[in-house]
């Protein structure tokens, strides 16, 4: 009984099981898994977690970028419309001014008619100035949207870089986990001593 108790104490103190644990990933090695094998598994799990995080980030930014891209397209269309309207207004104003100048040059009679043509020409010039302002505003809005889009792409790249850095191959620590048997779980069914006779070399007494 004394020897059984000593043997149980020996098993409790000396025959522990060393496992490896990664707390952040919540994984523990198996009993037969070496530290090198466990590190490979941790790296694979880390890579999968990083890829999943990057994909989640990409989906989140994809919606925002798509919205901005649509706004940019509408802003480009508005710039084109404003430019077309400006060109048309310039043409109409040129015709109006030309008619007024030509009428004055040919000495056409009719003060009211001349005044009306001059007034129309002046109004046309005012509309040209307004159209120019509309084009400038449309271009400014387009530039703002393009700048927002570029900033968002940079922000996405920065976040991806941060993820890849924080979830690198050796991002997580691996610690040893010592598992000792409980004395209450150690059962010694039989303790025996075996004696194996062996020849003893003769000693010369001479």
Report for 18-22, 101-105, 160-164: range of highest mean pLDDT: 18-22
Encode 75-114: b = buried (16+ Cβ within 10 Å), e = exposed: beebbeebbeebeebbeebeebbeebeebeeeeeeeeeee
Q: Which of 46-50, 133-137, 156-160, 172-176 has the lowest mean pLDDT?
A: 133-137
Quote the pLDDT of residue 127.
61
Q: Which of 34-38, 143-147, 201-205 has the lowest mean pLDDT?
A: 201-205
Average pLDDT in the 88-94 region?
58
pLDDT at 117 > cutoff 50:
no
Confidence of residue 140 (pLDDT cuts 50, 70, 90): confident
Average pLDDT in the 45-50 region?
86
CB-based contact 103:117 (threshold 8 Å):
yes
Of the chain, the percentage scoring pLDDT greater than 90 comes to 2
Global pTM?
A: 0.50
Confidence of residue 20 (pLDDT cuts 50, 70, 90): very high
Q: Which of 61-70, 72-81, 197-206 has the lowest mean pLDDT?
A: 197-206
Quote the pLDDT of residue 94.
54
């Amino acid at each position: 009984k004394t020897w059984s108790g000593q043997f149980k104490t020996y098993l409790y103190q000396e025959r522990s099981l060393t496992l490896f644990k990664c707390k952040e990933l919540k994984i523990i090695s198996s009993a037969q898994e070496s530290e090198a094998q466990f590190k490979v598994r941790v790296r694979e799990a880390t890579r999968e977690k990083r890829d999943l995080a990057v994909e989640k980030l990409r989906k989140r930014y994809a919606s925002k970028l798509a919205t901005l891209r649509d706004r940019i397209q509408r802003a480009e269309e508005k710039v084109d419309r404003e430019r077309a309207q400006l060109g048309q207004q310039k043409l109409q104003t040129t015709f109006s001014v030309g008619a007024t100048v030509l009428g004055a040059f040919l000495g056409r009679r009719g003060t009211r008619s001349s005044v009306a043509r001059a007034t129309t020409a002046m109004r046309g010039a005012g509309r040209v100035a307004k159209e120019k302002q509309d084009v400038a505003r449309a271009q400014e809005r387009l530039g703002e949207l393009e700048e927002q889009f570029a900033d968002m792409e940079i922000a996405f790249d920065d976040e991806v870089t941060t993820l890849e850095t924080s979830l690198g191959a050796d991002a997580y620590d691996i610690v040893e986990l010592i598992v000792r048997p409980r004395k209450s779980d150690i059962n010694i069914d039989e303790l025996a001593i075996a004696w194996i006779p062996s020849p003893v070399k003769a000693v010369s007494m001479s």
